[in-house]
Structure formats: C-alpha cells, structure tokens
C-alpha cells in the first residue's frame, strides 16, 4: 500500500474545482473538437484531430491523477493551535535583515514555494515543524545556511 497523500482543506477544494472543470467543461469541449476534426476528412494527416486526441489524453490522465489523489488523501484541517507550527500552520518569519515572509505548511503536492506554500517533506518545512513564536529556525538551502525567526503563528 502506498503512503497517504496529505492535503489541506484548501488544497482539496482546489482539486475538486479542477476535477469538476475537467469533467464538465474541458472533456466535452475536447470531444466536440475531435468530432469537428473528424469531419475534415482523412484522419491520418489531420493535425487538428491528432492535436485534439493528444489534449484528450492529457485531460484524461489529469482526471485519473486527481481521482487517485482523492483515494489516498488525508485532509488535514488548518491547525487551530498558535503555540507551535504544524501541518496547516500559517506563520510569519523574518530573516537577519528584518525582511518578513509568510509561509504555509502543506502536503508535498500542494507546495508552491513562490506563494509561500512549503511542503512538510521539504528541508525548510521539516525545520519549521514544532517551532514556536520567537524561536530561530535554521536549515541548509542550496545557497547555504538560512536562519529565520518565527514572528507570529497565524
């Protein structure tokens, strides 16, 4: 049995919206596109048809991926505790120069570092786990050692 996939409630909601769009909007659109391309004649040299079939394959693959995520997913609600950082915590940190950043600890498949969403499985995510307000957290990043101080747990 494979390991469970951890999702936040927000992450599950986004995947539900994506799945609904894929099934109810994108799938019917691509089926219509395939039908229109078939009407153009010889399928062996019909670029529109082959392009539409490729798109259909990508859509169906993504639908299966999302459904598999849902089968394995454990939804972790945003933590209610503000005394330490856990999965689902949103928090603010500052670096040595006093620059502040907001982070959100999420499951690996929701990670989006540019948006401040860091995976619980990443070195930075692991470093922040169980940290408390006022504590310094350090970890090794590709550019070297990074130190943050936890300013607030939201």
Q: Round to whole Å and give the CA distance between 151 and 16.
A: 33
Q: Supply the DSSP symbol for 102.
A: E
Residue 84 and residue 132 in one domain: yes
> Could you tell me if 42 and 87 lie in one domain?
no
What's residue 77's pLDDT?
66
Domain hosting residue 90, numbered range: 78-153
Using a cut of 0.75, tell me whether the model's pTM lies above it. Answer: no
Q: What is the CA radius of gyration of the chain?
A: 22
Domain final residue, candidates 52, 75, 98: 75
| Bridge partners, residue 45, by sequence | none
Residues 54 and 89 in one domain: no
Q: Assess whether 84 and 71 both reside in one domain.
A: no
Identify the sign of the CA torsion 94, 80, 6, 126: positive
**Domains identified in the chain, total number:** 2
Which of 60, 75, 90 marks a domain boundary? 75
Tell me the mean pLDDT per 10 residues along the chain, length 154.
78 94 97 88 81 95 95 77 88 95 91 93 93 94 91 94
Domain of residue 10, CATH code = 1.10.287.180
pLDDT of amino acid 91 = 95
Q: What span, in angstroms and rounded, lies between the C-alpha atoms of 128 and 29?
A: 44
């Amino acid at each position: 049995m494979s390991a469970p996939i951890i999702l936040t409630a927000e992450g599950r909601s986004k995947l539900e919206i994506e799945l609904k769009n894929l099934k109810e909007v994108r799938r019917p659109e691509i089926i219509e596109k395939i039908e229109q391309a078939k009407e153009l004649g010889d399928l062996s040299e019909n670029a529109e048809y082959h392009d539409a079939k490729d798109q259909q394959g990508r859509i169906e693959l993504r639908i299966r991926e999302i459904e598999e995520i849902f089968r394995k997913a454990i939804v972790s609600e945003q933590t209610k505790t503000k005394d330490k950082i856990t999965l689902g915590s949103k928090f603010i940190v500052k670096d040595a120069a006093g620059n502040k950043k907001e982070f959100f600890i999420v499951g690996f498949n929701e990670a989006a570092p540019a948006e401040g969403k860091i995976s619980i499985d990443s070195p930075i995510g692991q470093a922040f786990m169980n940290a408390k307000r006022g504590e310094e957290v350090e970890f090794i990043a590709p550019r070297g050692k990074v130190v943050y101080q936890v300013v607030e747990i939201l």
